[in-house]
Amino acid sequence: MTGPGRAVLLVVVAWLLAAVALRAVQRLLVGYLVAVGAGTLACLGLRALVRQQRAPSIIDRSRLPRRYRVADDITQPITAVIEAAEGEA
C-alpha cells in the first residue's frame, strides 16, 4: 500500500471510530451495531449468491486435453504419456 493510501485508510478508520464513539455517547451503539451487522450479513449473503450464480456450470466446462487425461491415469505407461504430450505439442 502506498503512503497516500495509508493516509486515506487512517482517516477512514479515524472517522469510523469517531462515529462509534458518538453512538456510544448517545446510547445508540447497540442499535447501530445490530443494524451494521445485519446489513453486512445481507451484503455478504447477496454477494455469495451472485457469485455462485455467475460461476460456470459443471456441464459447460470443457473436457481436459488428452495429454492431461493420460497423465492422470496411473495405469498408463510413461511412454503413452510422452506420446500424448508430443502428439499435442
In this predicted structure, the answer to whether residue 1 has a pLDDT above a threshold of 70 is no
What is the pLDDT at residue 42?
Answer: 94
CA distance 12 to 1: 15
Specify the pLDDT at position 89: 60
Rounded to 10 deg, the angle between the 3-25 and 29-54 helix axes is 130
Q: How far apart are CA 8 and CA 19, in angstroms?
A: 17
Model confidence over 18-65: pLDDT tens digits?
A: 888 888 888 888 888 888 889 999 999 999 999 988 887 777 776 777
**Boundaries of every domain in the chain:** 3-54, 60-89
Average pLDDT over every residue of 7-20: 86
